[in-house]
Structure 1
Amino acid sequence: MRLEHVILGLLALRPVSGYDIRKWMDGKGKYLGYDVQLPQIYRTLPRLVDSGWAEFDVDPREGRPDAKVYRLTAGGRDALLDWARSPYEPSPRPADPDFQLRFLFAGQLGPEYAIAVLRTELDYRLAHFGEPGWMDFTALGLDPIPDIDTTWVRKLHLAAHEHGYASTAAYIAWLQLTLARLEGEAGLPPSRAPYRGVGHDNP
């Protein structure tokens, strides 16, 4: 996920300044797990203008520096649509910001974009969920310092992996529920079987 696409997605909603973008990232955006610093935003905005994807007006501010308020151009709209239509490749890490941002900013262009991203993400998670041997700690090949109890270490590893397993199971359930809801609202038949919990087949 490139910052350019995040900014184009925000500009598709309304004209914004660089400071507005940072405020969004500090507010609603922080729940998506994506964070950039204000200098990165200010470096990216001129590149969008140079590419013909955005343009700006100067908003005079009394007693403060004038602000540049950016808006999306026709070229920026085309770039956003091209990105939304490009193949989405899931990250090995569940709930990666790339998925969250693609789902939000590509999905806001229409149900077909959000549904396509959800289907791809869900299929990938189900294919890799609970892979054989993922909780086998007997072959860690430990050679620890004297302070470490290997039995205790294995218990800690198990607890940490159980947390990841439970989090991924909940994430898959959310993907299933959201996909079923959006498909229903779009008048589409269910394309995936409902998630039935850990220990069941989920084709």
Structure 2
Amino acid sequence: MSLAHTILGFLQQEKMTGYDLKTSCFDRCIAHLWSADQAQIYRTLDKLVDCGWITCTVEIQRDRPNRKVYSMTEAGKAELIRWLQCPQPLPTLREPLLVQLFFAAQLSNEAIVQLLEQQLSVRNEKLAKCQKIQLPMLGDRFTSREQMMQKLVLDFAIRREQTYIDWLMTAIDVIHHQGDERVENREVN
């Protein structure tokens, strides 16, 4: 996914500063889907201005630094529509825990379960954060169609986390039972 297109999507809804994009959009609205730090956002805003997809207006402020407010151009709207209509390739997922598990046969069952339980804790926290997200997050200017699309995406994020949690609980159970079988096999021999 393109950070540039994500920013265009937000600027399509309203004019914003880079700070607004970071705090109101990335941190509060789509952190469960896509993260970006302040430096990435500002670099991308500069590139979008250079491409002619957005404009920047400097607002003079008293007792505070001047604000750069970004808004989308017609060329930016056209680019966003073009991107929205393009099929996206499947992402390459990099799951460090799964790679660890792939090679974890040499660890004790307790060590494997500990890894799984740590991940379970983190996933439960992420699920709770997703469940606390209240849409719409960017103001009341959303149409019901926009709300519906955002709700569908949030529902997917919640289901994805719940599926991961379910799998982790199954994996923990399998490891526990596998340990019971090894003990039983030793007792038989």
Q: TM-score under structure 1 normalisation?
A: 0.48
Asked if 1:42 corresponds to 2:42, the answer is yes
Deviations 1:33-91 (A, max 9, x none): 43222222222112111111001221111112211111111110111111111112333
Preserved contact between residue 59 and residue 69 of structure 2 (Cα < 8 Å): yes
Residue 26 of structure 1 and its aligned partner are, at CA, apart by: 5.8
Determine if contact 2:60/2:67 at 8 Å carries over to the other structure: yes
Deviation at 1:28?
Answer: 1.5
Alpha-carbon contact 1:25-1:34 (below 8 Å) kept: no
C-alpha RMSD over aligned residues? 4.1
Q: Pairwise mapping of residues 172-183 of structure 1 onto structure 2 (< 5 A)? A: none
Match runs of 1:1-203 below 5 Å: 1-25=1-25, 27-29=27-29, 31-91=31-91, 93=93, 142=106, 150-153=108-111, 155-156=113-114
Partner of 2:175 in structure 1? none
d(CA) in 2 for partners of 1:92 and 1:141? 25
**Paired residues, number:** 127
What residue identity is the alignment partner of 1:152?
E
Q: What's the % identity of the aligned pairs?
A: 27
- Structure that is richer in helix per residue: 2
Cα distance in 1, alignment partners of residues 113 and 45 from structure 2: 49
Instruction: Give the TM-score taking structure 2 as reference length.
Output: 0.51
- 1:109-128 alpha-carbon deviations (Å, 9 max, x no partner): xxxxxxxxxxxxxxxxxxxx
Report the residue type matching 1:2 in the other structure. Answer: S
CA distance in 1: counterparts of 2:116 and 2:56, whole angstroms:
53
Q: Is residue 25–residue 35 contact of structure 1 (8 Å, CA) maintained in 2?
A: no
1:31 deviation in Å? 3.6
The structure-2 alpha-carbon separation of the partners of 1:92 and 1:49, relative to structure 1 and needing over 3 Å to count, comes to closer
Q: C-alpha separation between the residues in 1 aligned to 2:63 and 2:104? A: 63
**What SS does the corresponding residue of 1:15 show, helix, strand or coil?**
coil
Contact kept, 8 Å, 2:26 with 2:36, in 1: the verdict is no
